[in-house]
Amino acid sequence: MKHGISTLFNLKKIKEWYRGRGFKHIDKNEEDYIDWGLGIEVPFFSSSKFTVENNSIAIIGSQITHDRSWPIKYSIVKISKLGTSIKYFDSVIFYGDQFEGEFHHKFHLPNGSGYQLLVFNYYQYHSIGRLRLIQTNEQKENEPIL
């Protein structure tokens, strides 16, 4: 019981801290965005699987970290069916708060299916963010893929 009350109190403090940081919501189509949150106990977030066409996808998003200098790593991976191995294809790191405007990064990858986006906070306190995965090609202009 004592542990549950302590955890609840900590969650309230974290929510208040994030509200005070001014994380602004984006006025675009809300269902296109993936919201993620990481902490010391849960330092990874992985998206659902997606397919890459025309050898590239892009991420567009924002993030808030507990310390404005801490890194958040975004990687494109394939995870084995049993979750015992991870194959990394490409990664990018954004440091600290990125909420004044959205960050953009284009990944160049082989065409195929079974890719996932893996977000990692290096076991550093709490961080939150939201992003979109966009299929990039000449025919379809910035089409969300998840």
pLDDT winner (highest mean) among 14-18, 64-68, 74-78, 83-87: 74-78
Contacts of residue 24, Cβ cutoff 8 Å, sequence gap at least 6: 62, 99
Kindly tell me if the per-residue pLDDT of 5 is higher than 60.
no
Q: Can you give the pTM of this predicted structure?
A: 0.74
Query: What's the pLDDT at 143?
Result: 58
Mean pLDDT calculated for residue range 46-66: 92
Confidence of residue 23 (pLDDT cuts 50, 70, 90): very low
Domains of the chain and any CATH numbers? 24-144 (2.60.120.260)
Which contiguous run of DSSP H or E holds residue 78? Answer: strand 71-79
Cβ burial, residue 29 (10 Å; 0-12/13-18/19+): exposed
Quick: pLDDT tens for 79-137: 988 878 999 999 999 998 887 778 999 999 999 999 999 999 998 888 999 999 998 76
Confidence of residue 25 (pLDDT cuts 50, 70, 90): very low
Mean pLDDT calculated for residue range 50-79: 92
d(CA 107, CA 145): 14
Query: What's the pLDDT at 90?
Result: 96
